[in-house]
Structure 1
Amino acid sequence: MVIACTRDCYDTCIFNEKYEPLKVFPINGFTCARGRADLIRNERNRITSAYVDGRETDVNDTIKYAARLLKEELKKNPAKVLRTDYDGNQGLLTWHYPDRFFNVINASQTDRSICSSEGHSAISAHYGTSMGALPEEFPKYNAAVFWAFPASISAPHIWVLFVRKFKVSIDVRLSDAAKKSDKAIIIRPGTDVFLALGVIKVIIEDGLIEGKVKHLEELAKYVSNFSLEYLSKVSGVSINDIRWLAEFYHERKPLTLIGFALGRSLNGGDAIGVISIIPALVGLRRGYYYSNSLGWGIDFDYLRGLHMAKSSRVIPMAEFGEYIEHGEINVVYVWNENPVLTLPGGDRLIEAVREGRVRLIVHDPYWSETAKLADVVIPAQTFLEKYDVVYSYWHDYLVYNEPIRPAIGITEVELVRSLAKELGINHPLLLEDPWNAVDKAIRPTGVTISELRERKIIKMRPRYLPADEPDALPLPNPVEPEPLNRDEVYLVFASHPLYTNTQFREVYGTLEPIIHTHDYEGVVILESKYGKVKVKAVKDPNVPPGVGFIYKSSLIDLDGKPINSIIEPIKGKYAGTPKLNGIKVRIIKT
């Protein structure tokens, strides 16, 4: 028996029935503080009954009530029913299969762009896929560049593979990873693309090219338009460090690991795309890593039923609050996500539900802020309590997840099929056996569900490998960050070692809303073009002037307001990813 941690995490640790991490590469027999706390968390803050308008109700009656809510709105306008979900649980049945129901009823959906979409699209534009280096290839590198990737916190199993090797960290502050690296390069938020162009300029113009890239002449002509003085000024990185980094790439041939946070910043897609080209210029084949989830060949579209039904409308996560505020949505159905705290404009959802303008249905194992707000609450099972198939966006194991704890609540599959029955829907997508759907979805990886049930964990064969000769096109079109005025900083968010987004507060408590800055101390107001929140400012010598960072697990301000309420509805140009990092805020002392 095995079980996999299904959390939105690179490592996707695999455990035995005693919840001990397996001693197989790259799990290597250890897990993080979150993984160690899961058995404790599983017993706390659980939703154990169904609720309607704050009253405890029978689960079956609640499902019938939810179905009536949906039916009434579907008669008027299916597009005003929005389902929103994300990667709270990475199981194929938990996350992807339920979409079939919502596609059949023609509801709206979010674009699921908040995390890695921008980088997937940007890298694919150059390589035809975002697939990069495999875990088995990591040990062959004697050096690594962690670009906007604080892996010592957010990906400890990746980090440990480079503990004894030369590491470079590029970040907007002196993060834990930067402190533990052999060299740290501190950059201004939103300017990574300018640093990458500087590195490419030196590699090309100093004759350091050893690899092949299509349209190299166009790239060379493009970077010739920028002086190193200009690129240094914009990025805040010295010319000496730009040259050093280019020569380091040429001499040491490091693996480049690119963080998701970069895609949520100004010029994020362009930065990720340009950075991914650097290894190819120095002769490295597949010399980068971003996320491999789209390279295994898993047919997510089939699982979601897109071959037979589609949503009526796709709403950008960046504009979630805007759609709610402007009356574009009347019913919101949430699973696998806590949008009140994680989506831009979560405060707009709070207002709309409290005023009765939006009806909120939530299926969740825990009493999240979104569940506490909901009109209808239905208890869900955790990954420790149900069967599923789990994949990783780093390692190449597919896992047959088996329960090790008694079930509380119902699964996502059971719920959507029950809702379909109440609505009288007999669509083939929902009549197909869910395990048959999973079997068809994973077959392109070289694995069948029968084999997986027998062997428990099986290595996948990557189906979509990057081109050996990437294309330098499209060329970037970067913009400089807006200049800061007095008492302004660029706000960025960072991972905390004890939390995964809003999870694990049941074990480790709620984080105090603190902005770490170079210059400010005490209670302050953070004001953007979009709103205000109240937080505590703490001076931190690891944060440069003009930057403020907040742990992204600390998402409620001192007055109980979501910090995401100050995030402006700005979309990335490749996949529409919300711009969460680098938002300019004014600090007002109270």
Structure 2
Amino acid sequence: MAQLGRILEAGGVKFLFVFNTNPLVNLPNQQLVKSGMESEDVFTVVHDLFLNDSCSYADIVLPAPSFLESFDIHVCYYHNYMSINQKAIEPLYESKPNYQVFRELSEALGLNSRELFPPEREVAEEFLSRSKAVDFTLKDLEQEGFCKMKTRPQDEYLTPSGKIEMYSQLAEKANLPPLPGYYEEDKSEYPFQFLTVNHKRITRSQFHNVWKKEIEPIVLINDEDAREKGINEWDWVRLKNDQDTLNMKAHITKDIKQGVTLAYGGLWSKLCDGKGANTLIPDVVQDFGGNATYNSTYVEIEKL
């Protein structure tokens, strides 16, 4: 996923179905992703609630329902409770949830949709019955709204040894250094580390269109760095590296370290003069885990 731009550029993918994400905003190497999605050789379908950036490069846009029109079960990073999302109303107009779309596609392809996509309630019941963290039923969730999951034993870890490993056997198996170490990243000629965070009013790239008047693309710069660069509060500045350039307003602060800049990720490019923060992020992935290296991005800053 982090290297979608490269995959599309290689030409092997002819059909792209996008759901539950906004790749043209959330993925690194934004311009390469854009180039791949606008290619005549790639037929793109986007299933979404709003006409976001990815929808702008779709051949077909399918309307998705909101959470008020969908059944779902949720777990969270920040607490140990599972909750249920029950529909307040039926999906409006032609909108359909993911599960129904894929079930109908399987039927159109002549596949056994009952075997591939049993009723949602059966899927939820089977999921709960198989989970080691769950000792309640779907009926309990429906009655209570949320239920507490069992915690993992404090002496069990998902490592080959079952213990906390300072010497990682998984890393060693992947021919990577098994012990943690320190190394200097290659900054080339770009002295400022470029970090991205989510804005408090949006979730990843969701709802920027709702708060577009309240959110503008700004970059936070340390006050000492700004003084050396001759940058004043709310000056327009250009951030650049080998990936691309990006113009933003500068907010001068003591809240970040010297040598570090910080901007909001997840902002829609179409609401920010055609580019977002990820246009500066390379699509290099981690050796261990394969995730995008968002925070290993370096830029130069100049006042406009």
- The bucket for the TM-score relative to the shorter chain is 0.7 to 0.9
Q: Distance in 2 between matches of 1:403 and 1:569?
A: 38
Residue 414 (structure 1) aligned with residue 117 (structure 2): no
Counterpart secondary structure, 1:410: coil
2: CA distance, partners of 1:465 / 1:421: 46
User: Residues 346 and 565 of structure 1 are in contact (CA less than 8 Å); yes or no, is this contact kept in structure 2?
Assistant: yes
Partner Cα distance (2:201, 2:117) in 1: 41
1:492 aligns with 2:181: no
* Structure in which a larger fraction of residues adopt helix: 1
CA distance in 1, matches of 2:254, 2:78: 33
Identical positions, percent: 25
Structure 2: how far apart are the matches of 1:428 and 1:585? 52
| Rounded Cα–Cα distance in structure 1 between residues aligned with 2:48 and 2:54 | 9
1:566 aligns with 2:280: yes
Tell me what 2:164 maps to.
470
> Structure 1 residues 483, 442: closer, same or farther in 2, change over 3 A?
same
Could you tell me how far 1:465 is from its partner in structure 2? 4.7
Q: Which amino acid aligns with 2:145?
A: K
- Counterpart position of 2:71: 387
Query: Amino acid of the residue matched to residue 530 of structure 1?
Result: Q
Deviation at residue 555 of structure 1 after TM alignment: 5.2
Partner-residue secondary structure (3-state), 1:416: helix
Which of 147, 150, 160 is the matching residue for 1:458?
147
- Aligned partner (choices 235, 240, 243) of residue 530 of structure 1: 243
Deviations 1:255-291 (A, max 9, x none): xxxxxxxxxxxxxxxxxxxxxxxxxxxxxxxxxxxxx
How many angstroms does 1:428 deviate by? 6.2
Q: Deviations over 1:194-237 (max 9, x none)?
A: xxxxxxxxxxxxxxxxxxxxxxxxxxxxxxxxxxxxxxxxxxxx
Deviations 1:17-50 (A, max 9, x none): xxxxxxxxxxxxxxxxxxxxxxxxxxxxxxxxxx
Work out whether residues 494 and 550 of structure 1, in 8 Å CA contact, stay in contact via their aligned partners in 2: yes
Give distance in 2, aligned partners of 1:432 and 1:463: 30
Correspondences of 1:160-309 after superposition (within 5 Å): none
How far off is 1:507 after superposition? Answer: 3.2
Structure 1 residue runs of 4+, over 6 Å off? none
- Aligned residue for 1:107? none
Establish whether residue 481 from structure 1 lines up as the match of residue 167 from structure 2: no
Whole-Å Cα distance in 2 between the matches of residues 346 and 471 of structure 1?
36
> Which whole-Å CA distance do the structure 2 matches of 1:555 and 1:466 have between them?
44
Query: Partners in 1 of 2:2 and 2:91 — Cα distance?
Result: 35
For 1:152-181, what per-residue CA distance to the aligned partner results, in whole angstroms no more than 9, with x for missing partners? xxxxxxxxxxxxxxxxxxxxxxxxxxxxxx
Amino acid at match of 2:57: L
The answer to whether the 8 Å contact 2:5/2:36 transfers is: no
Give the match for residue 292 of structure 2. 578
- Residue 386 of structure 1: CA displacement? 1.9
Give the AA of the match of 1:503.
Q
2:119 aligns with 433
Normalising by structure 1, we get a TM-score of 0.43
Distance 1:331 1:422, change over 3 A: same
Which of the pair has the greater relative contact order for Cα pairs under 8 Å at 6+ separation?
1
What is the TM-score normalised by the length of structure 2?
0.80
In 2 relative to 1, CA 525–558 (structure 1 residues): closer, same or farther, beyond 3 Å? farther
1:191 equivalent in structure 2: none
User: Conserved in 1, the CA contact under 8 Å of 2:266 and 2:276?
Assistant: no
Superposition deviation, residue 484 in structure 1: 6.9
Give the direction of change, closer, same or farther, for the CA distance of 1:348–1:481 in structure 2 (3 Å limit).
closer
- The DSSP-based 3-state class of the residue aligned with 1:505 is coil
Classify 1:357/1:349 alpha carbon distance in 2 versus 1 (closer, same or farther; 3 Å).
Answer: farther
Structure 1 residue 391, shift from structure 2 partner: 1.6
CA contact (8 A) 2:24 2:34 kept: yes
- 2:54 aligned to which of 358, 370, 373: 370
Q: Which one of the candidate residues 432, 446, 452 is aligned to 2:135?
A: 446
**One of 10, 18, 22 as aligned partner of 1:326:** 10
Assess if the C-alpha contact under 8 Å between 1:385 and 1:405 holds in 2. yes
Residue segments in structure 1 that go unaligned for 5+ positions in a row: 1-316
Are 2:191 and 1:501 aligned?
Answer: no
* Correspondence for 1:517: 221
Taking the aligned partners of 2:136 and 2:188, their CA distance within structure 1 comes to 53
Letter in structure 1 aligned against 2:76: S
CA distance in 2, matches of 1:343, 1:466: 36
Change over 3 Å in CA distance of 1:396–1:555 after alignment to 2 = same
| Residue 419 of structure 1, CA deviation | 0.5
- Partner SS for 1:564: helix
Letter in 2 for 1:351: S
Q: 1:353 to 1:569 in 2, by over 3 A?
A: closer
In structure 2, distance between residues paired with 1:428 and 1:403: 23
Inter-CA distance 405–540: structure 2 relative to 1 (3 Å threshold):
farther
User: Is the 2:45–2:59 contact (alpha carbons within 8 Å) kept by the matching residues of 1?
Assistant: yes
1:541 counterpart residue number: 254
- Which residue identity is paired with 2:68? L
Contact 2:238 2:246 in 1 (8 A): yes
**Cα distance, 1:517 vs. partner?**
1.0
* Secondary structure of 1:440 counterpart: helix
Q: Is the 8 A contact 2:25 2:267 kept in 1?
A: no
- When the two chains are superposed, the root-mean-square deviation of aligned CA atoms in Å is 2.5
- Do the aligned residues in 2 keep the contact of 1:396 with 1:460 (CA within 8 Å)? yes
The partner residue of 1:423 within 105, 109, 120 is 109
Whether the aligned pair in 2 keeps the contact of 1:322 and 1:345 (CA below 8 Å) is no
Which moved further from structure 2: 555-564 or 363-372? Answer: 555-564
Q: 1:451 to 1:543 in 2, by over 3 A?
A: closer
Structure-1 separation of matches of 2:272 and 2:76: 36
Per-residue CA deviations over 1:498-521 (Å, capped at 9, x if unaligned) read 221222224322532211112134
1:346 lines up with 2:30 in the alignment: yes
**1:507 aligns to what SS in structure 2?**
coil
